[in-house]
């Protein structure tokens, strides 16, 4: 199979679905002529035209509200929020309308919309353009939340999200856009079901549960430890909501030691939900050490690139946490 970038995989997923279904429209700031803040939608305006690739005013509230309304009346909108930090401006229609509509009307209505947004730090975007706010949307019943770590997963999960009849928040960690991965040829269609984690590396000594751009970091650390005879299993959650609890629990039972790694700050972070899922399950008697979390620091994201790099789990910090568990 060919190799393409994560960004290309996202664009292919949207384009293929828009060709398949004329009811899919794409809203966002600068997504048309400019091709999106990170170039993800380059060329889509030429193919689909201004009726379906819609450059919007600079109002995340209006963009998301229009998408929710359009979804309720038969369209299947994709929304791009230029930075995930700006979902703070879109929470009312997303949380109070889109997430609740299907429940409110007893399943008679649905809101088939996807809110795509780049998240995470690492680009020097400073405090208002670098946050990881996935825990906010995971807390809202009615929303599905996806964070893919590879080009293959990004395409398969986004296609599944677009076809889902529920609102999906699809977070693309921005440092992954330029990474490459093996993806089937155009025409070889595949979907990855929402709610299925993926064991990216099989191991028997320690389980690392992670997602997004922490996945390649954890895989690199796991490869280094394999030379020392420590066999680490790396589980990529992929879909935070719904969560594949069975995969996490089975891995924890197998290894007896669990490290949860994510970029978002620790307090209130989604790692707490993962940890409690493992502890409050049949995996508990198999654990030989407490479940450990390694998360971002509880501070705003600094502009200084050296400080920015140190407030999230680095390879050295992941390795240190692994050794603490191994020596427990």
Give rounded-to-5 percent helix, strand, coil for the chain. Answer: 40, 20, 40
- DSSP code at position 180: E
- Give me the pLDDT at residue 207, please: 98
CA distances to 122, 261, 277 from 319, rounded to whole Å, are 20, 11, 24
- Mean pLDDT value across the chain: 96
Residues marked active site are found at 129
The answer to whether the beta carbons of residues 220 and 315 sit under 8 Å apart is yes
The pLDDT of 223-238, averaged and rounded, is: 96
Q: Quick one: pLDDT band at residue 187, thresholds 50, 70, 90?
A: confident
Instruction: Report pLDDT digits (tens) over 85-132.
Output: 999 999 999 999 999 999 999 988 899 999 999 999 999 999 999 999
Domains, the chain, ranges and CATH? 2-183 (3.40.50.970), 198-326 (3.40.50.920)
Q: What is the pLDDT of residue 246?
A: 98
* pLDDT > 90? residue 1: no
For residue range 211-230, list pLDDT tens digits in order: 999 999 999 999 999 999 99
pLDDT value, residue 211: 98
Q: Is the pLDDT at 161 greater than 80, yes or no?
A: yes
- Residues 48-89 pLDDT 10s: 999 999 999 999 999 999 999 999 999 999 999 999 999 999
SS (H, E, C) 32-55: CCCCCCCCCCCCHHHHHCCCCEEE
Q: Rg of the chain over CA atoms, in angstroms?
A: 20
Number of Cβ within a 10 Å radius of residue 293: 19
């Amino acid at each position: 199979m060919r190799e393409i970038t994560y960004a290309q995989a996202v664009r292919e997923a949207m384009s293929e679905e828009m060709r398949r279904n004329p009811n899919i429209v794409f809203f966002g700031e600068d997504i048309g002529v400019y091709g999106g803040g990170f170039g993800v939608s380059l060329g889509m305006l030429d193919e689909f035209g201004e009726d379906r690739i819609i450059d919007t005013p600079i109002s995340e509230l209006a963009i998301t509200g229009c998408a929710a309304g359009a979804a309720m009346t038969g369209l299947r909108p994709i929304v791009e929020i230029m930075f995930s930090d700006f979902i703070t401006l879109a929470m009312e229609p997303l949380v109070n309308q889109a997430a609740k509509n299907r429940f409110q009307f007893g399943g008679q209505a649905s809101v088939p919309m996807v809110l795509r947004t780049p998240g995470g730090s690492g680009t020097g975007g400073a405090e208002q353009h670098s946050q990881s706010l996935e825990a906010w949307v995971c807390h809202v019943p009615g929303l599905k939340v996806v964070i893919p770590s590879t080009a293959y997963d990004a395409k398969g999960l986004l296609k599944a999200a677009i076809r889902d009849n529920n609102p999906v928040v699809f977070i693309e960690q921005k440092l992954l856009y330029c990474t490459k991965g093996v993806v089937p040829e155009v025409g070889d269609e595949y979907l990855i079901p929402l709610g299925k984690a993926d064991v990216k590396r099989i191991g028997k000594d320690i389980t690392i549960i992670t997602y997004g751009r922490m996945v390649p970091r954890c895989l690199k650390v796991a490869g280094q430890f394999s030379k020392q005879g420590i066999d680490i299993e790396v589980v990529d959650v992929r879909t935070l909501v719904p969560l594949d609890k069975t995969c996490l629990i089975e891995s924890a039972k197998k290894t007896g030691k669990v490290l949860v790694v994510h970029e978002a700050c620790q307090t209130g972070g989604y790692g707490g939900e993962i940890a409690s899922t493992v502890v409050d399950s049949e995996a508990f008697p198999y654990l030989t050490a407490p479940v450990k979390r390694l998360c971002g620091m509880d501070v705003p994201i600094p502009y200084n690139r050296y400080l920015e790099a140190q407030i999230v789990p680095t390879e050295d910090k992941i390795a240190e946490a692994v050794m603490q568990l191994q020596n427990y």
